Amino acid sequence: MLGLATRAGLSPRFPSPPEPGGEAAETITEEAAVTPPPGPSLRVDVLAEEGAAVAAGAPVARLRDAPEVVFTASMPAIVGNVRLGRGRRLTEIVLFRETAGDRFEQPEALRSAADPRPLMLAAGAWPLLRRRPFGGMPDPGEGPAAIVVMAADTRPFAPDPRQAIEGREEAFARGLHALSALTEGPVFVCTSPGKPLVEKGNGAVRQITGGPRHPQGLAGIRIHDLCPARIDAPVWDIHAEDVAAIGHLVETGMMPATRLVRLAGAALREGRLVRTQPGADLRGLSHGATRPGGHVLLSGSPLDGHPAHWLGARDRQVTVLPREEKPGPRHWFVEALTGTARAAPAIPTEALRQAFGGGMPGVALIRALSAGDDETAIRLGVLSLLEEDVALADYALGGAHLPELLRRVLSRIEAEMAP
């Protein structure tokens, strides 16, 4: 393989207290929410009234434009606040936990690994998929050119996907089988070094082993290297734990109730590794573990997380940071020395090269992004990338607004070129 050398990448260190070892405790928060996956906003029809009781796995909303795509409750609950934006765009549907509630099982007739699409759509597993180019959930009828399963995650403090699917190898294999029915192309399983997760001779499923440093365990860097996404050839990615969940779904008709999530960050007294429900309340998860004083809860890693109330649709990390005081007004001379309308240019250093995994011309990409040169950006493979893939370079450069520049270029390409 050309491109990624196994040692390439960076290991940025962030302060975080140690974890008290042992098994991941199951922590189900009292509140949870159904939130849309990142990407374009989604117009929905709400299927459960405020105050209604819903079983775990029961549908609570469906897309207006594609009614097959359903959002489901992650726990037995009473539907609390339903918050929709303008045009019935989904913001959040808050759920209050109901201990006595039961679980909603998908009908036997749907449970087919040979054609898992209707089952995944009906069981709310579709938002676990993400497509490139442009990001967001794939259309229900879309066929990808390849699917990349991320069984490695090199983001700082990310829980190890191998640990997440430990003991569930059978469900993982069943999920892979189901995924390979969704595409004509290959299914890549990207892992960290260790024992193989895919049996040899498993048809279109191929295991790719990457190095231990960030960003080698990011889907975008892998897709850029293995099977670049194009407008006419989208590529999907999904987390390995979600593949095991799909395997579980095909077998039992129900999604697993929990996922492995790590809490880390400088504002914690102790780190936590928990199994919690999707869409969990971040305050509930960090309750009793934070240091005194104000703090900010991020759903996601310190590099690409964003302040949130609920665990994001695909996130497996919570970062708790001390709240920073707003800086006071600075002297005009300091302002003149540092403040500008245009960001300071990126200097090509080794740190920048490694921040892109060492395999792509990062400096040329940054120049194309800042200049708004869409054609060059496409030639350099920007269609395989999303915000999280440039987050490390943005961090390394001390804040060069790369995620915003990337989104601007992607939106323009989508408006001008996508059908």
Give the interface with other proteins as residue ranges (CB under 8 A).
Answer: 2, 12, 14, 227-228, 230, 233, 296, 302, 321, 324, 336-342, 344-353, 361, 363-364, 379-381, 395-400
Nearer to other proteins, 100 or 341 (CB): 341
Question: Which helix (DSSP H) or strand (DSSP E) does residue 351 occupy?
Answer: helix 350-355
CB of 335 to other proteins, least distance (A): 10
Question: Which helix (DSSP H) or strand (DSSP E) does residue 410 occupy?
Answer: helix 402-417
Nearer to other proteins, 23 or 232 (CB): 232
* CA–CA gap between residue 297 and residue 294 (Å, rounded): 10
Provide the H-helix boundaries in 181-319: 219-226, 240-252, 282-286
* CA–CA gap between residue 51 and residue 49 (Å, rounded): 6
Nearer to other proteins, 101 or 361 (CB): 361
CB of 401 to other proteins, least distance (A): 12
CB of 132 to other proteins, least distance (A): 14
* CA–CA gap between residue 358 and residue 210 (Å, rounded): 13
Nearer to other proteins, 126 or 356 (CB): 356
Non-local (6+) Cβ contacts of 4 within 8 A are 210, 211, 216, 221, 225, 357, 358, 359
CB of 194 to other proteins, least distance (A): 27
CB of 260 to other proteins, least distance (A): 24
Q: Is 267 in contact with 302 (CB distance < 8 Å)?
A: no
Nearer to other proteins, 13 or 195 (CB): 13
Peptide bond into 133 cis (omega under 30): yes
CB of 170 to other proteins, least distance (A): 33
Q: Cα 24 to chain center, whole Å?
A: 21
Non-local (6+) Cβ contacts of 141 within 8 A are none
Nearer to other proteins, 352 or 409 (CB): 352
CB of 390 to other proteins, least distance (A): 13
Q: Which of 154, 177, 103, 226 is nearest to 389 (CA)?
A: 154
Nearer to other proteins, 12 or 118 (CB): 12
Nearer to other proteins, 80 or 361 (CB): 361
Q: Cα 254 to chain center, whole Å?
A: 21
CB of 333 to other proteins, least distance (A): 10
CB of 364 to other proteins, least distance (A): 6
Nearer to other proteins, 52 or 337 (CB): 337
Nearer to other proteins, 257 or 321 (CB): 321
**Distant-in-sequence contacts of 374-378, Cβ < 8 A, 24+ apart:** 374/409, 374/412, 374/413, 374/416, 377/409, 377/413, 378/413
Burial (0-12, 13-18, 19+ Cβ within 10 Å), 340: exposed
CB of 268 to other proteins, least distance (A): 15
Give backbone dihedrals phi and psi of 117, rounded to 5 degrees, phi first.
-60, -50
Tokens of 191: 């892992």
**Three-class DSSP category at 338:** helix
